[in-house]
A and B are shown apart, each in its own frame.
Chain A
Amino acid sequence: MASRLVASHVEAGYGSVRVLHDVSVNVNAGETVVLLGSNGNGKSTLIKCITGIVQPTSGEIYLERDGARIDLVGKSPQEVVDLGIALVPEGRRLFPKLTVEENLLLGAFRMGARSKIDSNLAFVFEAFPPLRERRNQLAGNMSGGEQQMVAVARALMSDPEILLVDEPSVGLAPILVSRMIAKIKELKDQRHLTVLMAEQNFNQAIKIADRGYIIVHGQIEFEGGSAADLRDNDMIKQYYLGL
């Protein structure tokens, strides 16, 4: 089962505020694609459109899986998760008053993940050893770095094929950002995931990127076919780095 995620000509917004204008993004099976842009340019909105939290006003979002096309527009977040798309939300959005283990088990609610709870739990404890030690601690009492681990681990518990990561660097110290980004790459290789990551930390994000898009004011300003393309681009320096 290999899936390709496609968003085509997506327009979306909140009330009368238009956020995304004709955004087209695709992620091929096995790729790590980054969505770059500073705050308020629409990265999270696109992720929310894919996961069904925000419904686009027009455009198409679909999965191509084994030759079949599965539309995502109109589906609830829960149905999207059922299709094997997991989200690591911006700001982590853990369940602060539940324990680490309860948080992880909540990630495994979908049918396809229930039978693999034991092996997936063992896997995430292996990947994030601090979580095993703190499994009975309340998630709200953990440090930012540990909470981000829980958020990623919770997403993995749904046994996903596609992992959407929204701003994993938010609120983390630089050293933790670089570790977390490296960890995402490592998990991607171990679990053969397809990753779409929205991130504003340009230098960290392109370390693990196969390809990437730069989104400015809700429009895709640049599409880079490789990490090098993104690194050596004048437009990036101009629009994105503000040089």
Chain B
Amino acid sequence: MKISAFWVVVVAIFVGGLVLTEVVDNEYYFTALYVILQATIMAIAWNILGGFTGYVNFGSAAFFAVGAYTSIALNKSLGLPLPLLIAAAAIVCGLIGLGVGYLTLRLKGVYFAIATLAMAIVFETLITNWAYVGGARGAYILTPETFLWFKSYIQMVFIVMLMLALTAVAISRMLNSSRIGRGLAAIRDDEVAAECAGVPTLRLKLISTTVMGALMGVAGAPYPFFVTFVDPVSAFNLFIAVNAIAMPMIGGTAHWLGPVIGALLVGTTQEIITVNVSSELNILLVGIMLVLFITLAPQGIVGLWLKYWRRRKK
């Protein structure tokens, strides 16, 4: 019953997206929605390791950027189409997630967070010095031709992103409610106890970093085709990482819906403020929201709702 309700909503949202491309002509809306969907995927990805597993990391931007640069490199060298580039970015970033996870997961808490930050800097340095993808100067991408029935290029990229975001939601939900998700929650609660109870902690943590990396890469792969110019400074921007952390925190990290709600709420507010007030203010806004939620509702919106629900049931 619940399963079918979920898939009905997923299909309804996708159809809604298609309808939108038919009815709305103003391209700004698709640009804004693309940005929000990209943030949603990243929030979901971050939450798999940071929320479900409890390993807070600051390296998200690195995976996002590596996804984007995988796209650039393979597009330049082999001329692969976007769907293949997305798949390639997922594989490359998933493998990097696996490798980095293997190297860093023995660290705990703050040390792990610092290691991931260092990793982001290593990747930024590597890309900055790789001339083939533009190095520090950045890379220009020629947008491919609009195909199928889409009226404009941006609408097409929006639909691609919508599909990816829905897939990410489905993966996160599946993981959250499965045996693996239960194991990850046990690691978050008490890793030593999890190990003693027979939970294969290392394997689960590696699954977690791999899926996190792959989804981050997927979020980054279409990015060059969206902005058409990518340079290391913008792709590795710390603000991307901060957003990916703030959104799940605000939405609630323990439940798969948390990062989705957080990303939609924060992403939409940011867009509105950027357009109507100023783009500088939206960074301030994220900061304020984050502080408010951490002090007043550390379990996020989903946590608040669950608390209210439990109380009402009693």
Residues of A within 8 A of B (CB): 51, 53, 76-78, 81-82, 86-87, 89, 93-98, 102, 105-107, 109-110, 113, 154-155, 158
Contacts and interface: CB of A to CB of B under 8 A. Distances in A.
A93 B190 contact: yes
Given A87-B196, A89-B196, A109-B179, A95 B201 contact: no
B287 interface: no
B182 A53 contact: no
A78 B201 contact: yes
B192 interface: yes
Contacts of B188: 97
Interface of B: 179, 182-183, 185-186, 188-190, 192-202, 254
A206 B100 CA distance: 51
Contacts of B182: 98, 102, 105-106
Given A95-B186, A96-B189, A98-B185, A106 B195 contact: no
A87 B197 CA distance: 7
Contact of A77 (B185, B190, B198): B198
Contacts of B196: 51, 53, 77, 81, 87, 89, 93
Contacts of A87: 196-197
Nearest to A91: B193
B58 to A, nearest CB: 24
A98 B181 CA distance: 12
B192 A53 contact: yes
B313 to A, nearest CB: 10
Which 10 A-B pairs rank lowest in CB-CB distance, beginning with the nearest? A81-B198, A93-B193, A95-B189, A77-B195, A110-B198, A109-B199, A109-B198, A78-B200, A106-B186, A87-B196
Contact of A93 (B179, B192, B201): B192
B199 A76 contact: no
A94 B192 CA distance: 10
Contact of A158 (B190, B197, B201): B197
Nearest to A138: B310
B185 A78 contact: no
Nearest to A88: B196
A95 B54 CA distance: 13
B198 A95 contact: no
26 contacts: A53-B196, A76-B195, A76-B202, A78-B200, A78-B201, A81-B197, A81-B198, A82-B198, A86-B198, A94-B190, A94-B193, A95-B185, A95-B186, A95-B189, A96-B190, A98-B182, A98-B185, A98-B186, A98-B189, A102-B185, A105-B179, A106-B182, A106-B183, A107-B197, A109-B198, A109-B199
